[in-house]
Amino acid sequence: MLQNQTTGGTRHADLDAWVREVADHTQPDEVVWVTGSDEEIERINATLVEAGTFTRLAEERKPNSYLALSDPDDVARVEDQTYICSVEEKDAGHTNNWMDPQEMKDRLWPLFEGSMRGRTMYVIPFVMGHLDAEDPKFGVEITDSAYVVASMRIMARIGSTVLERMEATDAAYVKGLHSVGAPLQPGEQDVAWPCNETKYIVHFPEELAIWSYGSGYGGNALLGKKCYALRIASVMARDEGWMAEHMLILKLTNPEGKTHYIAGAFPSQCGKTNLAMIEPTMPGWKAELVGDDISWMRFGPDGRLYAVNPEFGLFGVAPGTGADTNPVAMATIEKGNSIFTNVARTPDGDVWWEGLTEEPPAELVDWHGRPWTPDSDAVSSHPNSRFCTPITQCPTIAPEYDEPNGVPISAIMFGGRRKTTVPLVSESRDWQHGTFVGATLSSETTAAATGAVGVVRRDPMAMLPFIGYNAGDYVDHWLEIGKQADADKLPRIFMVNWFRRDEDGSFLWPGFGENARVLKWMFERLEGDVEAQESPIGYLPHPGDVDTDGLDVDEAQVARALRFDPEEWSEELPLIKEWFEQFGDDLPAAMEDELATLEQRLVRVDA
Ligand SMILES: Nc1nc2c(ncn2[C@@H]2O[C@H](COP(=O)(O)OP(=O)(O)OP(=O)(O)O)[C@@H](O)[C@H]2O)c(=O)[nH]1
Ligand SMILES: O=C([O-])CC(=O)C(=O)O
Ligand SMILES: [Mn+2]
């Protein structure tokens, strides 16, 4: 037993040895094994309030909920400090930062030395996906951040029941090591949001290990999420023949009671959470949430692809979320039990952010903790501010979210933020063409990562920052999956763009609940109820086939949203070529073929 181990311990020999090793090196004041109990979280929340990290919100506004304001330089994922340290450089590929694993450890291990001094080291056993899955995917996060413990308890299935299962089966697990990198000298006063200017988010895929240093922000610090469930899991999925994808999962039921499950890959801040919680504007249509960010898919016994949401909570973008745009998210949050990060606080102990209500309150405390009024120059909430809420509180949760083997996927959507070029909706000709559409997906950058916002970049399958291996091999894995199945059992693949702009800069399509009109067209395509017209980029709706009944937008504008423009696509073609050149020899030949096909089809349209 560790001398400073105040609770718990484990019979899992490998885990016991690793925890000892880390504790010896990082030198925390105490080690706490997280059980997940209610009393425990009350204690942890109280610690966070005392430390000034959490402000408790008014019970009658947001029960059992807290506001955290981060260090202003620790607000988003740090992609330029994120590494895939595979043994071979070519296994990280051109889209990832790479360093030799030993070299990286020689650099990082000294940073972890004594990094937890004056703090508590928490050991969080967790499982991504269901504990009763055929092959449950375990992880343990060691962290010196109580904020991470409180957030992980919402975002994943954690605690003693998980640890007991790991012990009983001597389970393999992903080792996630996290430190905010802010040791305290004896007697030193802590800050509300400890972190370090130096940040590293590092993955060792062959060892199933993650080392995260210097940041407390969600995507950098909640290691079950992007680090495990996407970067590490994508490598496991490649090796084991399944898929780990950055996708929402939605259950859609038509007025006749027929159901399809649809997955959608959109880059960060491009509408996954909103679409997953959509309230259709058309009478009789019903949408339910299965997942809002990550989808693990594998073939079921019937040869179809089944998807599970490996998470247990929602980590949603706050700004833009309001009763008009996402009433379901609002109802979810109203129930409380949530953590809000980097939003504004109202005088009556509630939260506010841009887009929550049309009229801002007369006075607020902004995300810097400063007084704010509607006359203030800056926004009250950080553009990447977040709510963290249990998924079970969502009023439209589908019971299948808790199905260990997931739901059969009928369609996959790819989408991004494009002001021009990409029509509201199109359908791929087949799986290989759909893989091409995904591999060439593009989007304007957002505040979810540090760096410039609004720059168009290619974001393959919305996975650019999350592919844990060579992007060429990743595209090849998609093609392999396609070859393993009967063509008619594979999900159909669609491309969407809610963000196309008119000449005056306004959105051409109203979006949000109205996106159900696009889902309806897809549904009818799946059912064979509607024809489509060929175009060089795939099948497009015939005029009038996207239901605009009761839509408050004139038909000419809808047509502009739906339009395939050969000129815009002629300008897109060299950008796609440039992107594919970056793959070098790693680009699968089928992608060259698809590119050539697109080019020929575009030339034919021009002629
Ligand atoms: N114009 C428009 N904006 C949208 C639409 N859907 C979502 N948004 C806005 O886009 C932003 C991001 O939406 P989210 O649904 O949170 O995006 P996400 O893909 O879940 O983002 P991450 O959680 O970062 O991966 C929010 O400010 C939304 O209000 C839409 O259909 N039209
Ligand atoms: O990972 C995060 O920090 C938040 C998120 O969902 C994303 O950026 O895609
Ligand atoms: Mn989201």
Which CATH number fits the domain that encloses residue 332? Answer: 2.170.8.10
Grade residue 195 by pLDDT with cuts at 50, 70 and 90: very high
Pocket residue to mutate for ligand 2, from 70, 315, 461, 463, most atoms within 8 A of Cβ: 315
What sections of 141-271 are H helices per DSSP? 146-155, 160-169, 218-221, 233-240
pLDDT at 199 over 60: yes
State yes or no: 274 annotated in a binding site.
Answer: yes
Whether 348 has a binding-site annotation, put simply, is no
- The answer to whether residue 575 sits within a structural domain is no
In this structure, is residue 582 part of a structural domain?
A: no
Collapsed DSSP state (helix, strand, coil) of residue 143: strand
Q: Is residue 516 part of a domain?
A: yes
- Higher pLDDT: 314 or 4? It is 314
509 Cα–ligand 1 center, Å: 14
Does residue 75 belong to any structural domain of this protein? Answer: no
Measure the CA–CA gap between 410 and 235, rounded to whole angstroms: 24
Percentage of the residues of the chain whose pLDDT score is greater than 90: 98
**479 touches 470 (CB < 8 A):** no
- Distance, in Å, from the CA atom of 527 to the CA atom of 253, rounded to the nearest integer, reads 12
**In angstroms, what CA-CA distances link 479 with 294, 307, 410?**
20, 18, 17
At 396-433, the pLDDT tens digits run 999 999 999 999 999 999 999 999 999 999 999 999 99
- Give the 3-state secondary structure of residue 506: coil
Reading the block at residue 88, the tokens are 């071979």
Please count the structural domains in the chain: 3
Residues 236 and 374 in one domain: no
Q: Say whether both 212 and 197 belong to one domain.
A: yes
Q: Does 231 contact ligand 2 (Cβ within 6 A)?
A: no
Q: Is residue 188 part of a domain?
A: yes
Q: What's 20's domain CATH number? A: 3.40.449.10
The answer to whether 513 is a known ligand-binding residue is: yes
Measured between alpha carbons, how far is residue 487 from residues 103, 304, 425, 478 in Å?
A: 45, 10, 22, 13
Q: Which of 214, 240, 266 is the last residue before a domain boundary?
A: 240
Half-sphere exposure of 275 (CA within 13 A, CB side): 32
For residue 4, the model assigns a pLDDT of: 53
Q: Quick one: average pLDDT of 59-80? A: 98
Give the end of a domain, one of 240, 265, 283: 240
Which two tokens mark 243? 């898929």
The answer, yes or no, to whether residue 288 has pLDDT greater than 90, is yes
Tell whether 206 and 319 lie within a shared domain.
Answer: no
Segment 396-406, tens digit of pLDDT: 999 999 999 99
Same domain, 405 and 378: no
Residue 6 has pLDDT above 70, yes or no: no
Q: What residue's CA is closest to ligand 2, atom 2? A: 219
Tell whether 590 is covered by a domain: no
Q: Average pLDDT in the 547-560 region? A: 96
| Token pair 């491009």: residue | 270
Q: Exposed/middle/buried for 145, CB within 10 Å: 0-12, 13-18, 19+?
A: buried
Atom of ligand 1 nearest to the CA of 448: 24
C-alpha Rg value of the chain to the nearest Å:
24
**Atom number in ligand 1 closest to CA 319:** 27
Ligand 2 atom with the smallest distance to the CA of 449 is 8
In the predicted model, what is the mean pLDDT of residues 148-171?
Answer: 98
235 with 335, same domain: the answer is no
- 575 pLDDT above the threshold of 90: yes
- CB of 268 sitting under 6 A from ligand 2: yes
Residues 380 and 372: their CA atoms lie apart, in Å, by 7
User: What's the whole-number mean pLDDT along residues 33-53?
Assistant: 97
Q: Whole domain around residue 485: which residue ranges?
A: 244-311+397-564
pTM of the shown model: 0.97
Distance CA 42, CA 44 (A): 5
Do 216 and 283 lie in a common domain?
A: no
Question: What pLDDT score does 562 carry?
Answer: 98
Range 335-353 average pLDDT: 98
**Is 386 annotated to bind ligand?**
yes
pLDDT-based confidence at residue 1 (cuts at 50, 70, 90) = very low
**Partner residues linked to 263 by β-bridges:** 249, 412
Ligand 2 atom nearest to 219, measured from its CA: 3
Residues marked active site are found at 270
CA dist 178 → 105, 115, 516 (Å): 14, 10, 40
Average pLDDT over residues 104-116: 98
Three-class SS of residue 379? coil
For residue 288, give every residue at least 6 positions away whose Cβ sits within 8 Å of its Cβ, in sequence order, or none.
250, 251, 252, 253, 396, 397, 398
> Which are the contacts of 293, defined by CB distance < 8 A and separation ≥ 6?
225, 246, 247, 248, 272, 273, 309, 311, 314, 315
pLDDT tens-digit series, residues 496-544: 999 999 999 999 999 999 999 999 999 999 999 999 999 999 999 999 9
Tens of pLDDT, residues 226-268: 999 999 999 999 999 999 999 999 999 999 999 999 999 999 9
First to last CA, the chain: 78
Residues 473, 353 share a domain: no
CATH number for position 267: 3.90.228.20
| Mean pLDDT over the full length of the chain | 97
The reply to whether 382 and 401 lie within a common domain is no
Q: Which protein residue's CA is at the shortest distance from atom 9 of ligand 2?
A: 268
- Could you tell me what percent of the chain has a pLDDT over 70? 99
Indicate whether 404 and 506 sit together in one domain.
Answer: yes
Contact 429, 538 (CB under 8 A): yes
pLDDT tens digits, residue range 15-24?
999 999 999 9
Averaged pLDDT, 282-286: 97
CA 153 to ligand 1 center in whole angstroms: 24
My answer on whether 165 and 193 are in the same domain is yes
Residues 273 and 405 in one domain: yes
Q: What is the 3-state secondary structure (H, E, C) of 22-42?
A: HHHHHCCCEEEECCCCHHHHH
For residue 376, is it within any domain? yes
- Classify residue 355 by burial, with Cβ atoms within 10 Å: 0-12, 13-18, 19+: middle
> What's the rounded Cα separation, in Å, for the pair 215 and 199?
6
Between CA 578 and CA 598 the distance in angstroms is 15
Which of 393, 421, 441 is the last residue in one of the domains?
393
pLDDT at 272 over 80: yes
Whether 271 lines ligand 2, by a CB cut-off of 6 Å, is no
Ligand 2 touching residue 219 (CB < 6 A): yes
Q: Is 387 part of a structural domain of the chain?
A: yes
277 and 255 inside one domain? yes
Q: Identify residues whose C-beta is under 5 A from ligand 3, the ion.
A: 272-273
